Structure 1
Amino acid sequence: MLDGFLQHVDQQSSLALADGVLLPVQAQERHVSEKNMRFLVRWVSNLAVKDASKQSVPGGPRDPNFNPFLPPDPALTVGDYFATHNTVLNKFALSAQHLVLASKQFAEQLEPLSLAEFTVLSKILNAYGGLGFYNGGEAGGASQRHKHVQWIPDLDNNPSLRLYLSGLPQVALPGERHQHTGLDFAHIFIRLPYDSLQGWGNADHLAAALLQAYETACVVLGLRPDASGLLPAHNILIGQGWMLLVPRQQEMAYGISINALSYGGCIYVREPEQLDLVQKQGPLHILAQVGVRA
């Protein structure tokens, strides 16, 4: 049960903000529409602070000796709600209540996701909706090697899968696979057990459905573990009754880092000039540059 969960998140966030430990992003934004899909492009001035914090650590954020999740900062850690994962406030929060759900034992970020990850996400999605997402590997926008998934609530202007709904079937059975005709890169949408009025339903059934959808998507898109058991880079988004999986070939396009939330309609840039660049090139073109050719 998650009784009082978000209240605890808010309390911990207030304390971390007051102590200067939580550094939510400060953004100026612009709307850019393409193919009837509405994107937000956000210039986040304090991403430079995040970059500087990475550079101050020997070996950088992917050095195995640098692991903010083992143990997580107590000032950013929410209560012990899950047996397998710690609930941690994202230090550089892109939204209120932006959560990192990090495995309590170290595992590589590109090890295939397990029922444990989807169980944690399903409990939060079932109780509060919102968007679950995953940055698989450095080329997928992950800044840490320690295995983790993330969640943000369903708030105005937060990333979500809503921008794609007009290009997907309004009625689809759980497990159905679809592609969006407006996307010029490899991807797959898989319908999940979801009712627009009743929501996600049973959390345990949802967790099993998420795992099955993920494994199906990996097979369809040819994502297979290598000799060390790691998958190729990819992003996952879960919301509005769908799972979207996108394979990735690189992290950056035109100097802009692309992660899962970019596929949810929010592209974050570090320089104000990049607002014009995304508008000129088009957000879908930017996403295609880092994806895999369809």
Structure 2
Amino acid sequence: MGDKQIGLTPDAEFSDRLIDQLDKLRTLPYIVGSSLWTYNDYRSDYEKTPPSENRAWGVVDVWRNKKKAYKQIQDIYAPVLGLKATVDEKVITITLIPRNKQDIPAFVMEDYTLVYQLFDANGKSIGKERMELPIIKPGDEELEFSFKNNRNASRTDVGLWSPMQIEVKTASSEELKNLPVETSNSPIIEFLGRTNESVGIGYTVSEKDSIFTFKYGNSKENLTKEVTSDLKGAIKIKWPTTEPFFVKLKSDVTEWSTTKQLEE
């Protein structure tokens, strides 16, 4: 099955229709699994691709920045149904809820670990602990782990880690506030990297952008070089390895971006 593209911005998420379809799969006894296409946004000139030449199907963008959909798909394919954490003055409690026997996914979990990080009232990390989990089977009763709050923690963030050291589920004892999504009337420089006598620049592209102008030089106050291009998303500029590199850009419909320095 398919659905519309997820979207370009950090707050892009799956449609309710797609979530409902994935939930329905779990009720069908002849379905044993499903997979997501695709992980990342990608550049293309395929038919009906937006003018930006960016197909926004991914849970991360072309520069691997996570969208809201990343957390959604992590929860959908987590090997457990739920992970919860609570903190009070005396006790830290972590609750893990296994999958049902008929679920997607549903498999025996072996060699998984819980990692929980503790924070004080000011949000400062005050410790991290790791705990090996027993073998967990679909249909098992929920597991509850309690610890004395000896460090006077105010919050704990918990991660479930697979044997391949992949964090497959996360939870927090507090509802973490999402940082506001930055809106800008300018392109954003996402990447700067040197290759021999050139500097590669990666940047965001909106649907309205078509021509890009770059000003660059060896200091923020000395952007004396300029080049214009219709390349969308990335460009390479020749620049000596002995010189520091600073750059800003604008499109034909936007203001100048902030100036960014190549870190070496």
- TM-score normalized by the length of structure 2: 0.28
Q: When you count strand as a share of all residues, which structure comes out higher? A: 2
Kindly indicate whether structure 1 or structure 2 has the higher relative contact order, using CA contacts under 8 Å at least 6 residues apart.
Answer: 1
Q: Which structure shows the bigger proportion of residues in helix conformation? A: 1
